[in-house]
């Protein structure tokens, strides 16, 4: 479970926004804070990634993820680092994910207390993790690319977001997506009202014009 609000908020955002992003893809499975068993017959051989994505896996509800029942290891894992997880995130988990063949592994430290820089990424190349170089890094901004997701991971200040690099648009969580839907509906209603008003004025003008 998330250690505090600092870890919970980016975790819930990541899961919700990725589920919305891939909602029309029946072959993309997104989950958060779920048990991932990686050795059949050994219940103790498990880990619980904060966020995982398997591309090519059936989109269905699971009680847990079992590696031997999936087409492959996760393509993407994100861990939200805290004081109690920092050593595992950079040690045991990193080695395990590399061994299992997780294509991309990212770590994000929402408080900036445990990782420098607060967003780190690793990509599997010839069976070994190599550091993903940031596309941009300043004192306030970090931008990294996820090839498997086709997205950018951005940290601006203390805010973590996924961004579509082709449009520059940030991915929304459920509440933000609903708010956008409501706003778009309001704008459509207002536009339709303006059209009806214009049509009424034109009809009145034609009626009043001399024959």
pLDDT in tens, 127-174: 999 999 999 999 889 999 999 999 999 999 889 999 999 999 999 977
Distance separating alpha carbons of residues 149 and 74, to the nearest angstrom: 12
57 and 130 belong to one structural domain? yes
24 and 107 belong to one structural domain? yes
pLDDT of 61 over the 70 cut = yes
Distance separating alpha carbons of residues 201 and 50, to the nearest angstrom: 58
pLDDT in tens, 75-115: 999 999 877 667 677 778 999 999 999 999 999 999 888 88
65 and 130 belong to one structural domain? yes
Mean pLDDT of the chain: 88
107 and 198 belong to one structural domain? no
The answer to whether the Cα torsion of 188, 193, 198, 202 is positive or negative is positive
Would you place residue 28 in the very low, low, confident or very high pLDDT band (cuts 50, 70, 90)?
very high
| Domain extent for 124 | 5-171
68 and 154 belong to one structural domain? yes
- 141-146 and 151-156 beta bridge pairing: antiparallel
What domain count does the chain have? 2
143 and 202 belong to one structural domain? no
129 and 208 belong to one structural domain? no
pLDDT in tens, 115-127: 889 999 999 999 9
Distance from the Cα of residue 29 to its chain's centroid: 12
166 and 70 belong to one structural domain? yes
CATH of the domain at 134: 3.90.1570
Q: What is residue 58's predicted lDDT score, i.e. its pLDDT? A: 96
Distance separating alpha carbons of residues 134 and 203, to the nearest angstrom: 60
191 and 102 belong to one structural domain? no
128 and 24 belong to one structural domain? yes
Q: What is residue 114's predicted lDDT score, i.e. its pLDDT? A: 86
167 and 177 belong to one structural domain? no
What six digits make up the tokens of 108? 């994000």
95 and 183 belong to one structural domain? no
Smallest CA-to-CA distance from 13 within 163, 202, 160 is with: 160
Q: What is residue 94's predicted lDDT score, i.e. its pLDDT? A: 92
């Amino acid at each position: 479970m998330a250690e505090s609000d600092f870890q919970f908020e980016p975790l819930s955002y990541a899961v919700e926004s990725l589920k919305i992003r891939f909602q029309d893809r029946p072959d993309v499975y997104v989950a958060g804070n779920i048990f991932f068993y990686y050795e059949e017959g050994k219940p103790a051989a498990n880990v619980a990634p904060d966020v995982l994505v398997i591309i090519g896996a059936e989109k269905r509800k699971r009680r847990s993820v079992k590696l031997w029942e999936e087409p492959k290891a996760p393509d993407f894992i994100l861990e939200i680092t805290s004081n109690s997880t920092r050593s595992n995130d950079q040690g045991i988990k990193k080695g395990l994910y590399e061994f299992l063949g997780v294509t991309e592994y990212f770590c994000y430290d929402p408080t900036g207390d445990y990782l420098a820089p607060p967003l780190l990424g690793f990509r599997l190349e010839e069976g070994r993790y190599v550091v993903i170089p940031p596309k941009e890094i300043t004192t306030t901004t970090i931008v990294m690319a996820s090839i498997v997701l086709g997205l950018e991971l951005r940290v601006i200040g203390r805010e973590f977001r996924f961004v579509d690099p082709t449009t520059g648009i940030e991915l929304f969580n459920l509440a933000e997506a609903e708010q956008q839907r409501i706003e778009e509906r309001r704008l459509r209603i207002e536009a339709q009202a303006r059209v009806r008003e214009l049509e009424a004025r034109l009809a009145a003008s034609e009626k009043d014009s001399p024959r």
